[in-house]
A and B are shown apart, each in its own frame.
Chain A
């Protein structure tokens, strides 16, 4: 029962493997995927209250991991529901595409439960390798072979980041003699036998080791010095793949980063400063580069880099409120991105990339999609009363509460919000304020309409009444502290 969602995902891999042997219709594959993701979501909901540890205590099942599993499953479910049959995936490898998607989800679910460095590494590799294959599985568009370039870039950067991760892990092992996270953090049974890394942050070795381990997840989160793959991969992969990369792995990355930063002692000023630089650098780099983008997905890539900076801003307060806010923020970010990518996938009928110019007159072509886009973009920009504003607001409060010296970074972060507004607003401008000659209306299915309303309601609801989500996040984080 504790392992049920993971087992179901493993089983789904087999289902799609058998389907890939024949020549299933797109419709069949799509339906199967929807049903499986629904079952997985329900199973994670059912397992929300489970507790315990598996595999010689390298795998913890607690509220923290189960809540994140639920979020991962829900994000995948809504992603599959909102995207329409993956038109730009090579038609003879659609079944394989779903295998890799569910395998990646399996890896991410294992990742959020892993508390042992080896199992973290194995789970991370499982999730990454599946995505490495998903990226180049795009049908040739004839012109440029962007997807191959994207795939290779993603692979190479990923391997490099994994290298950093392993190197950092070896240092951590060398310093403490254990590979177990709880052993490192000083909450294990063997307390006293090993020296805990928590009290070592006055030593350069511990700082270097921890930063290297974290950089493996910075790569997943698309944070500043590890962001180089992001724009090209977003642009090169199919819209649905981008939607997956932009949302689901980031949830798991935040989960792992929360686990890692709880081990850091606040007295280690060096590491705080280092993370602060990464965070602010990420915001400035992302926001300034996004200003000049013409491709919508590229713009979202840079905006994702900027938002990663905000999330790190919550983590580096080293307070439970900061972690809770970061968790709230990533949930909001995923909801907004799912909404935007649903709009992108609906507009792009044949799976081509959407330029910002292509949104011209969307208000007239499909008012509901335009409204969804408007709400989620304004939310990303951080305008009240949407979830993006509440998230940013609480992150800034949390930071300033923790230490008055954060005033300057908080002001800089606020400036970044102002920069960001311009490019979000210019997309809205194209969608709303252009009176064009009549273009054909966008066909939206019933499901997309329902989902649009659902996303809008969710963004407003979570923005106005954040307490329920915050309460459960706090409860989840309390478990691992």
Chain B
């Protein structure tokens, strides 16, 4: 409980901090309680998972610290983030800064080649830990991209944009295939997270209003849906004491309320129209297909992302089918009890948000529209300024 509260403090602070040092301190301070959550209350391979989580994320953010110090020194000794943004650093400096940011944030997201800590940490963490990890912790990475990488190193972002976009696609496809092969329910959801976060980075780095708004919405959606799915699996785990999909088959007959919830969340995760993820993914893809002045292969990119959505349907529906009906060789589940009132109250708000965002996303979009529009305008302005400067030099 202490760990959870300390972590909540740190995470609120991370998103609110306007001072770079404060941001870094809170960003790192959150590791210790999370490490203890996994390390003390985790599953059988908790030591491996917690150490990997800790080392991976910490090693990634060390260079972020150097970048912060460099920015501090080259900005008249200021740590104030708005002072640091939009400063037209030289292109070498921007590339190095982006490298440091990318390493720190991509590990946190996690993007495709840096994702290996996530399944391990998710699987071993207790349910509460998994929910926090999926719903909020991962968003720190994408928030970092939006907050720091884009405004501080716009020139470098355009240069590396194709790589990052294709990495996102790789994440979506890879996450989908890996999830398809899992026997462990938590691992399945963890890999689906890799895929969903791929959509988020895809939206961010397509660099237009549609894409970024879709990405932010998708961040919220992923928090709601995946958090709810982890809770659902936690509830099964409390009953069967196993995360094996094979041991949880055919509970639909005995847990009708539970499978109703599960079905809605699964459909949301798949991106079914009417649920929240549909709106997010649709906006991201719409952003991708929009003519793009930095990236010409956007149609191919969009087409490559489509199989990811199909894969999501395949693995999620497979899990749903197994849990509700199973096959002929279901274990005897007749002793299992349905959700109690506490569990229903826990899940109900998630369901509310699934449909609220799905049917009336305007409520949420209006909050972000002004800031995203400003971000994109300033980004384009910085680009054209850089191009003009380049032409004058030539």
Contact = CB atoms under 8 A, between A and B. Distances in A.
B74 to A, nearest CB: 8
A100 interface: no
Given A404-B73, A407-B70, A425 B63 contact: no
Nearest to A407: B70
B65 A414 contact: yes
B196 interface: no
B73 A383 contact: no
Interface in A432-446: 432-434
A422 B59 CA distance: 10
B66 A383 contact: no
A50 B56 CA distance: 51
A415 B62 contact: yes
Counting contact residues on chain B (CB < 8 A from A), the size range is 20 to 34
B181 interface: no
Contacts of A291: none
A187 interface: no
B4 interface: no
Contacts of A393: 21, 65, 69
A417 B24 CA distance: 15
A418 B59 CA distance: 5
Contacts of B80: none
A378 B32 contact: yes
Given A425-B55, A433-B47, A396 B24 contact: no
B25 A426 contact: no
A173 B28 CA distance: 50
Contact of A389 (B25, B50, B59): B25
B51 A426 contact: yes
Interface in A393-433: 393, 396-397, 400-401, 404, 407, 410-411, 414-415, 417-418, 421-422, 425-426, 429, 432-433
A89 B46 CA distance: 41
Given A397-B72, A432-B40, A383 B32 contact: yes
Given A384-B29, A414-B62, A433 B40 contact: yes
Given A411-B63, A432-B36, A384 B73 contact: no
Interface in B28-81: 28-29, 31-32, 35-36, 39-40, 42, 46-47, 50-51, 54-55, 58-59, 62-63, 65-66, 69-70, 72-73, 77
Interface string B10-32: 00000000000100111011011
A384 B30 CA distance: 9
Interface in B63-122: 63, 65-66, 69-70, 72-73, 77
A384 B25 CA distance: 5
B62 A417 contact: yes
B70 A429 contact: no
A418 B31 CA distance: 14
A425 B38 CA distance: 14
Instruction: Please name the 10 residue pairs, one residue from A and one from B, whose CB atoms are nearest each other, closest first.
Output: A384-B25, A433-B39, A418-B59, A414-B62, A384-B28, A418-B62, A433-B47, A414-B66, A400-B73, A397-B69
A434 B29 CA distance: 23
Contacts of A396: 65-66, 69
Given A400-B73, A401-B73, A433 B46 contact: yes
A432 B35 CA distance: 10
A421 B31 CA distance: 12
Contacts of B62: 414-415, 417-418
Given A397-B69, A432-B36, A432-B40, A421 B55 contact: yes
14 contacts: A396-B65, A396-B69, A400-B73, A407-B66, A407-B70, A411-B63, A414-B63, A414-B66, A415-B62, A418-B55, A421-B54, A425-B35, A429-B47, A429-B51
Interface of B: 21, 24-26, 28-29, 31-32, 35-36, 39-40, 42, 46-47, 50-51, 54-55, 58-59, 62-63, 65-66, 69-70, 72-73, 77
A378 B40 CA distance: 17
A317 interface: no
B58 A384 contact: no
A411 B24 CA distance: 17
A414 B28 CA distance: 14
A85 interface: no
Contacts of A417: 62
Contacts of A114: none
A397 B55 CA distance: 23
Contacts of A426: 51
Contacts of B73: 397, 400-401, 404
Interface string A224-248: 0000000000000000000000000
A404 B29 CA distance: 29
Contacts of B46: 433
Contacts of A411: 63, 66
A392 to B, nearest CB: 9
A400 B31 CA distance: 27
B39 A384 contact: no
A389 B21 CA distance: 11
A363 B41 CA distance: 12
B9 to A, nearest CB: 11
Contacts of B50: 429, 433
A186 interface: no
A384 B10 CA distance: 11
